[in-house]
C-alpha cells in the first residue's frame, strides 16, 4: 500500500495528480501506474487504469483474475468497473473520497451522478491506514518520510 501512496506523492511532485496504483499477485508487484491525465491529455489515464494496462500487457492476458489493486485513493467508477469487469480479486486503498474532497480529488460526485451504490461493494474493498495524513498527500503538509530519488 505504501508503494501506491509513494507513487502518488512522487507524481504530484512532478506536476501530476496525486494518485498511484499497484497491481499485485499476492506479494508480487505485477505493474504500477500513476495518474497521467495531465501529461497525456487522456481522461482515462487514471493510476489504476495505467497499472491495469501495464500489467495485462506484461502478462499478455487481459484477465485480472487473482490480482489485487492497491490504490492511493478510492477508485472512481471507471476504474472500479474495469476491475470488476475483468475479474480482479480485491481492492485496497489508502484515502477515501471524504479525505480527497477538500482538495477537489473526490469521485463521490460521479458515483452520485451515476446513481451507483457501493453497498454492498461489487468486490472486496478495504481501506488500509498508511500513517500518512490526507493533507500530506493532497495538501501542503510536510511529507513524513525523507525524499528519495
**HSE of 65 in the Cβ direction (CA atoms, 13 Å)?**
3
Residue 89 bears catalytic tag: no
Q: Residue holding cell 472486496?
A: 124
Residue showing cell 493533507:
135
d(CA 1, CA 119): 23
Phi, psi of 71 (to 5 degrees): -120, 140
Q: How far apart are CA 95 and CA 117, in angstroms?
A: 18
Of the residues 48, 89, 135, 147, only one is catalytic, namely 48
CA–CA gap between residue 20 and residue 126 (Å, rounded): 16
Question: Active-site residue numbers?
Answer: 48
Amino acid at each position: 500500500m505504501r508503494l501506491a501512496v509513494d507513487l502518488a506523492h512522487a507524481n504530484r511532485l512532478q506536476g501530476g495528480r496525486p494518485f498511484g496504483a499497484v497491481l499485485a499477485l499476492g506479494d508480487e508487484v505485477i505493474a504500477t501506474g500513476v495518474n497521467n491525465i495531465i501529461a497525456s491529455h487522456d481522461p482515462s489515464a487514471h493510476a489504476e487504469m495505467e497499472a491495469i494496462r501495464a500489467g495485462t500487457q506484461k502478462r499478455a492476458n487481459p484477465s485480472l483474475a487473482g490480482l489485487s489493486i492497491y490504490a492511493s485513493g478510492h477508485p472512481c467508477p471507471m476504474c472500479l468497473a474495469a476491475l470488476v469487469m475483468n475479474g480482479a480479486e480485491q481492492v485496497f486503498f489508502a484515502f477515501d473520497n471524504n479525505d480527497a474532497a477538500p482538495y477537489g480529488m473526490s469521485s463521490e460526485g460521479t458515483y452520485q451522478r451515476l446513481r451507483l451504490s457501493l453497498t454492498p461493494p461489487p468486490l472486496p474493498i478495504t481501506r488500509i491506514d498508511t500513517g500518512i495524513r490526507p493533507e500530506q498527500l493532497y495538501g501542503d503538509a510536510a511529507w513524513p518520510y525523507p525524499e528519495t530519488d
